[in-house]
Each structure stands twice: as C-alpha cells, then as structure tokens.
Chains A and B, each alone.
Chain A
Amino acid sequence: MEISPLIKKSLCILTVLLTSCFQTKGEADRDILHKNLVTAIAQGTQDLLTQMIQISESQIKVFEQENSCEDLTALKENWKELSITMASFEPYILSPFMDLESKIHSWPVRDHLIASQFGDSTHNIYESAPLGKGIWALERLLYSHNMNEKSTCELYKAQLSEIHRLLNIYHRLWNDQYSQELQIAQGSLWMNPQDVIDDLTLASISVLEIVHKSKLDKPIRGNGIAAWPESLQAWRSQTSFELIQANLKSLEKIWDHHNPLWKIIEDGLEGQIHDQFDHIHQLEKELSTQSLYLELLDNQRQNYEEYINSVYTLLVLFSVDLSSQLGVVNVLSDNDGD
C-alpha cells in the first residue's frame, strides 16, 4: 500500500512539532529542577559545615589562650552549639559524607574506648574506633565528674581538634570536588540527577528512621512498661529533645515549598507532609519545657506518645509515599524484572 506524499509530509511535520514542543518545556523544567535542588543542598551543606568549623575553632582558640577546662559552662555551651549544628546537618549527609558522620557522630559512645585514651600520650585519636571519639565522646567527657582533671581536659582538647581537622577536610572536599560533582551529576558519586534525588531522599528517611526508632521510640517506650531514659541520645547533657527538634527543623527546611521536587510529585503529598510537620511543631510547643530525660526518669512517657506517632507518620510519608513517587527504592524485582 502506497502512502500518499501529503500524509507523509503531514506526519513528519506533526512529529517535529510535537517533539519540539515537548522538548522545550520538559528540558527547561528538568534543568531548572536539578539546578534548584542542587542550590538548596549546596547552600545548606556549605553553611552548616562552615558553622561547625567556626564553633570548634572558637573553642580551640580559647584553649590556646587559657590552657584549661575550668569554665565548664562556656565549654558546655560550645558543645551544645556544635551538637545542634550537627543535628541540623544530618539531613544533608549525602553518601560522600557518610564517612564523616561515622567518624564524628557515632553514638552511643563506649566508655572503655574513651578510657583507653587516657594517659596515653602516644595514642592517636585518628586511629581510635568511631565509638570512642567525636561529638558524643566530648559529651561523655564534659559531663564526667573528672572534667577538671588535666588528663580529661587534654583528651577533650585532642578530641575537639580531631573533629575540627575532619570538618576541614570534608569542607575542602566539598568545595573542590563534591559540590561540582553534585551540579554536573555525571561522575562517580552521582551518575545522573536521579541519583541526587535518591541520595537526598534516603538521607531524609535515614534521619527520620533514627529520630523515630533510636531517639524517641526506644528510650521513651522502652519495653512498653518502663522507659529507658539512658537510651536517649544526649541524656547526660539533657539536650536530646532539642537535637530532635533541630533534626526535624532542618529536614523541613529541605522539603519546604521551595523544593523543586514537589513539581514532579502527585498532588496531595506535599500538603500532607507540610501538615505533618506543622502538627509536630504544634506538639513540640505543647510538650513540657522540662528535659525529656527528667520526664522519663519520672516515667512521664505518655505525654510523648502522640509525638512519637506523629514522627512515625512523617516517616511513613517519606519512606513509602515519597520514595515510591520518586522511584527511590530499587531492588532486583522492580518493574517485574530480571
């Protein structure tokens, strides 16, 4: 059967028109989407890394001037600032930063690993196990009864210097390599823009998972009958709840209305997630200003029941709904394949 030249021509023109129309809109949208997403991640990462470096640096300078740990209040304030900034940084921990996190943010620390560093002048913190160093080792030292002793103070200074050194390394890596790779998304870290989306979403889920399971559910619900206050992340400094709030606030900032990913997500989910964040913040306001640790010591857990459930709902929205729509969880049998 011969197709008439007129039909052939018309089909060609139609195809070209359709293709060009789709390409103009789609390509522009995608480019902007990736650019905006990277800008948001880069800004947050850069700011928080710089802040942490400055906080640790300021204390190191104080140590240089007064070679002692006598001003415990100032030290505790500095530590708190550092740990809360780290909590804000957690949702920004993309795959290249995993290593940094394990080196400076592993918890709960092991006493014997910290103890083994005392009095050993040759001991290299660089080589010690992650659960014997980092921000949580600082807390352990800071709230121990022998913080005024010289050896403890020396160890504190060494630990803080190590954190500062690691933060600088990662800051340099971020500026020289990661941020560019993130923008191009064609390298070994992120092979395409979808990898960036996957990485960011998984980081968010990981934060929520830890907040729900380890920071709330385990210490507060305990065995269902009694709470386990000493399972709280920062029970010594009694800042656990503030750190959780910092985690969630930072997460909310990443997924605020400006996040370009909402443009490719089915209607409804964005509103649902934002409503959930609002609900959580409302509960935070209603909860007692007394430390969570002290409340758990009194077994006053029931106040937090709704809060835990709300965080769980948020976790479900991220790990089920958002992941599904962004195609984040990929296993062998996806798309009925292999």
Chain B
Amino acid sequence: MMVIKALRDDLSHPLSIFRIAYGLLMTGALSRIWIHGWIESLYIQPSFHFKYQYWTWIPHPSNLSIYALFILGIISALGISLGGLRKKWLFKSSVWTFFISFTFIELIDKAYYLNHYYLISLLAFIMAVAPSHYFLQPKNQSWPLWMIRLQITTLYFFSGIAKIQYDWLCTAQPLKIWLENRAHYPMIGSLLSSDTIAFLFSWAGFIFDLIIGFLLIHPRLRGPCYFFVITFHLMTAWLFPNIGLFPYFMIFFTLVYFDGGIRLKERVCVDVLLRFFKANKIISILFVAWFTFHWIFPLRPYIYDGDLLWHEKGYRFGWRVMLMEKLGRIDYELRDSQGKILWRPKLSQFLNETQIKQLSFQSDMAVEFAHYLKEYFYQHHHQIEPMHQMEQYQVEQYQVGVYAKCYVTVNGRLSKLYWDPNLDLTQFPSQTNIVGK
C-alpha cells in the first residue's frame, strides 16, 4: 500500500514525473550508445578528438575510464529515475554524478555536439543545484520546476528564432532536400517530394518552435498543444531516422508543463512563484541571471558579419536545430618551404566518418586538426609514404606547412572554396574559425 501511495504521489507531481522520465530516457540513451558499439567507434577508435574552445584541458580518458563514465552515467540516471528512493543525498549524488559523467563524455569531442545533449546537461545541472529532490514539492518551492519549464521553452523559442532566415522561410531548405530523399516512404512518400509540402513543413516547424513553449505554459491550451508536441516529434522521428532519440526526449520532457493533481495546482502557479521570489532575493537574482544568460548567449552569432550557416561562428550552443544540409570535402597536404609535397594524409587513418564529415565544413576543426597533423608528421615522418623514398630528407631543416583544399555546399547551393588553399593552417592558433574572420 505504501509503495502504491508513493507511486501515486510521484505520478501526481510534474517534477517527479520529469525525474522518472529523464532518468529512464538517459538510462536508455547511454545504454543504446553502448549496445550499438558507439563507445568504441566514437571515443576509442579515433586517434584524434576535437576539443571545445576553453575546454582543451579536458583530458582524453583511457578506454577503461570511458566505459567507467558510461557505467556511472547509466547507474546515476537510474538513481534519478528512482528519485534517489526518496533520500535526498542519494538523489543529489545521482544527479551530480550524472551531470559530471554525461557532460564529461560530451566534452571529449565537439564533432559529436548536439543541441539536445547540451539541453540534457543543463537540465541535470538545474536538478543538481536546485531543490528538485522533493517527492512532493513543498509550498513555495516550485521554482526548480519553473526553471526546467523555462529551459525547455528557451530551446523551442530560440530554435524558432534561428529559423528566421532566408533559406528556411523563402526556399524551404534544407527540408526540400531532405523530404525529396524520403519520397520512397510508403503512402505519403509522393507527397513529401512536393515543394508545397516542404514549404508547409518549414513554416509549420517555424511557428511550432516559436510558440509551443509558451502555449504549453497556459493551463487551458496545454492539453491540445501537447497533442501537437507528440504529433510533431513523432513525425520528425519518422521522417528523419537519424534524429535518434531527440523526439522522444521532447515528448517526455514536455510532460513537465502539466500541473499534475488538482490539489497541486496552487503550488505551481505563477503568482506563488513571484511571491516566493520577492521573499528570496538571492534565488530570484540567480534565476534571472541564469535565463538572462541563456536568452542572450544564443544571439551571439548576430554580432558577426556574413552568413552564419556558412561560417558557423557562434553556431553551437544556440539551439540551431535542423537548419542546414551542409557537406564539404577537405584534402590536406603537408608541404615544405620549397614546395615539396611531404604527405597527403588519409583522414580515415585518424578519424571516424562523423568526425570527417564535421571537419569538412567547420574551419575551427580543420585548423585544430592541421596542428595535430604537423605534430604527427614531425614525430612519424620516417614511417610515412612518401617520406621513406626520401631517406636523406632532414625534416628539421625545413619549415613544414599544412595546407587544405576545402569545398563546401550549404542547402543545395553550388559548392565553393571554404578558404584560400595556399594558407598554412598552422599559422593560426588552434581552433580558429578562419572562415568567420
């Protein structure tokens, strides 16, 4: 009876439901990476990993440590779903452990950056810092719930803002390209190849993202809007299988907007929250500071000149989701000061397919990898073809430069050179975005 009552109580509060959904989804997501063998292919096999700017100090963990991080992540995610078995210390330690292990995994390589992984880290941080451990939220303590709701609203709203651009609204790109490639789908495949549908989806997606986060807050609109959330995300899951678990995350995360049992409604309404903030100045300042940052930070690309989709300066951590079909090709060449070609490295020797694809159209990654290639060449030149044909060659006597020819296409436009192929990429500090300059 006690267990049933506890479960009923848990399922009657939005924060408890969120904790359960979050924990179970994360357990599934991390286990899935393991089961598919992606720990091996993403984190262990590549001999090089792209660091995030300002996070270069993050060490690359040993193979064993990577598995340990995943084990910690899975166990702590389970702990979150169980609400720490109603023990504060257990819940808090679970959520902190999950936040650290998951974020650490994400920081290993920026080639795998995804907006929803960023969201997962932020939500874990909110749960870790805020008093989100209560199984029944005490009166006046609903602000952690509101933080989670507003964080999700922020994601939707800014991914809507990001869609205010020519390609998305006026040419229905990249949806036109993507939907065209789904024309073999049963029943409605033929519809998908029509331009009208691409425009319809583009505009519907834009309006949906822009307003859904706010509509979900409104008690009367919440029900019908949740129906749209489910429809929208299931549709994206069906149309874009590569999108993986993101739609399911959002379907379950948005349950947090529901108030749960009627008796709890009073505790989660806005008036109560405002009254609480008036009485607790420090929390209210932190709350406002957090969201001020999160509402300004995604707008940083607007201070840079040029086409954001082309140079990608400030693109990450800005809720820019499914905005472009971008593809590139990069061919490196190491030459000495006399113009002698020393090495044309084969990228698959160092990187996996995902890394190569990301590298081919992100200049900060291209510069970072150029530095690595130079370093590698100095250390291993005697083993590299064609260097073994030049036995007398003294690498140390010459200035070696790393050059790359890179062509990129965005949203169906004809490809162009991404930068001058005569630039020695190693003359720039590692991780410099040379296209955005």
Contact = CB atoms under 8 A, between A and B. Distances in A.
7 contacts: A26-B189, A228-B386, A321-B409, A324-B177, A324-B412, A333-B113, A335-B243
Q: Is the interface of B mostly helix, strand, loop or mixed?
A: mixed
A264 B328 contact: no
B190 A27 contact: yes
A48 interface: no
Contact of B328 (A25, A320, A336): A320
B354 A331 contact: yes
A329 to B, nearest CB: 6
Interface in A24-46: 25-27, 29-30, 34
A306 interface: no
A208 to B, nearest CB: 11
Interface in B33-69: 38, 42
Contact of B340 (A223, A268, A333): A223
B176 to A, nearest CB: 8
Contact of A223 (B114, B193, B386, B414): B386
Given A223-B389, A332-B112, A336-B115, A26 B246 contact: no
Nearest to A224: B341
A5 interface: no
Contacts of A34: 184
Interface stretch (B77-85, B136-144, B319-327, B427-435): B319-327
Given A225-B338, A264-B180, 20 more contacts: A23-B190, A26-B192, A27-B190, A30-B190, A185-B184, A224-B339, A224-B341, A225-B340, A268-B414, A319-B329, A320-B409, A324-B177, A324-B325, A324-B327, A332-B42, A333-B112, A334-B242, A336-B243, A336-B322, A338-B242
Given A26-B183, A26-B190, A320-B407, A221 B341 contact: yes
Contacts of B180: 264, 327
Nearest to A196: B184
Interface of A: 19, 22-23, 25-27, 29-30, 34, 185, 192-194, 213, 217, 221-225, 228, 264, 266, 268-269, 272, 312, 315-317, 319-321, 323-327, 329-338
Contacts of A320: 327-329, 407-409, 415
B327 A329 contact: yes
A337 B322 CA distance: 9
Give the 6 A-B residue pairs with the shortest CB-CB distance, closest first: A26-B190, A338-B244, A337-B243, A224-B341, A327-B181, A324-B327
Contact of A29 (B193, B242, B344, B414): B193
A229 to B, nearest CB: 13
B242 A332 contact: yes
B297 to A, nearest CB: 18
Most chain B CB inside 10 Å of its own CB: which residue of A192, A327, A337 = A337
B183 A321 contact: no
B340 A266 contact: no
B178 interface: yes
A269 to B, nearest CB: 7
Nearest to A331: B354
A333 B357 CA distance: 9
A316 B341 CA distance: 21
B120 interface: no
Nearest to A191: B184
Contacts of B240: 335, 337
Contacts of B183: 26, 30, 193, 264
B279 interface: no
A269 B412 CA distance: 9
B191 interface: yes
Given A335-B322, A337-B244, A316 B329 contact: yes
Given A224-B340, A333-B114, A336-B243, A269 B414 contact: yes
A224 B335 CA distance: 9
